[in-house]
Amino acid sequence: MRKIAFVLYTNQPFGVSYLGGIPGKKISILEKKLLESLGDKWDVTFEWEKSKKEGHLDALIIPDPFPPVLNEEKVFEVRVPAILFYEMNIDEIAKIIEKELSNESDAAEEFKS
């Protein structure tokens, strides 16, 4: 199962930008819906910085527009319109992720041959 990380927060010079509402220890409604809806297709995490550093990550799912994300590890990035997260349009988010991961897999196969 491929592991994906949703980038719903990013550190900024004067604080944190967080798409899921108010950051805290409890899981947000958005995170809960994403996990419930997509957890059977992919290994889903919201701790993108930790997962990226551990090297066990297939893709970063990044809202667009969103503050810059430092991706020194060059993990594959999937850009998803931020409005879909605000509207909690999980079906459309899933379609975009599936399409982009499929395209990435196809490109990797072509590169090997």
Q: Is-contact 112 13, C-beta < 8 A?
A: no
Name the helix (H) or strand (E) containing 92.
helix 90-112
| CATH architecture under which domain 3-112 falls | 3-Layer(aba) Sandwich (3.40)
| pLDDT tens-digit map of 3-40 | 999 998 765 555 555 666 555 556 788 889 999 999 99
**Number of separate helices (H) and strands (E) present in the chain:** 4, 6
Average pLDDT score, the chain: 83
More confident residue, 83 or 53: 83
Q: Is-contact 20 6, C-beta < 8 A?
A: no
pTM of the model: 0.83
- pLDDT attached to residue 54: 85
Backbone phi, psi, residue 3, to 5°: -100, 125
Confidence of residue 112 (pLDDT cuts 50, 70, 90): very low
- pLDDT attached to residue 111: 40
| pLDDT tens-digit map of 40-70 | 999 999 888 888 888 889 999 999 987 788 8
- pLDDT attached to residue 15: 54
> What's at 36, amino acid-wise?
E
CA dist 47 and 53 (Å) reads 10
- pLDDT attached to residue 8: 86
